[in-house]
Homo-oligomer: A and B are copies of this chain.
């Protein structure tokens, strides 16, 4: 069983509002044992909205664990593990920016932290946008920021944009459209 680990026992050590924490004992490939602590998360989706003028939309919001406001593409968590991630992406895009898209392209998935969370984030690029009203959750406060795609890429390269999904979807979409 090279590059594999077997579960010996498993328990939920914290059952919270947005995630559970599990602590498992596993058997390694040399038959020794180790402890694996990790977050159980339903998964998420992010969506890069690109306007007809080759601008992108991002949202600036306060991220409490980091104690700072970050620039990120519209995103959200799935309501359940089997929620359709395209539908979730359209919902988050509409809620956070007021945009709907008639062209949506799947850009693959991200494992944000393989060491300690089960979360996978699906990525989309949205084009041919039309706008209605932003419709935020009651505990959600954010500013929509629009800027040229090339400027967003520069902000990834110079370290201004640090959120992993945002860095990835901007670079991947830029490479798809420009390389």
Contacts and interface: CB of A to CB of B under 8 A. Distances in A.
B167 A70 contact: no
A14 B116 CA distance: 14
A147 interface: no
Contacts of A117: 65, 113, 117
A92 interface: no
Contacts of A120: 66, 162
A14 to B, nearest CB: 4
A163 interface: yes
Contacts of A84: none
Nearest to A139: B34
Interface string A152-165: 01001101001111
Interface residues of A, number: 67
Nearest to A69: B3
A141 B24 CA distance: 18
B164 A110 contact: yes
A57 to B, nearest CB: 17
Interface string A139-179: 10111000000000100110100111101100110011000
Interface in A112-144: 112-120, 138-139, 141-143
Given A108-B162, A114-B66, A138-B32, A37 B23 contact: no
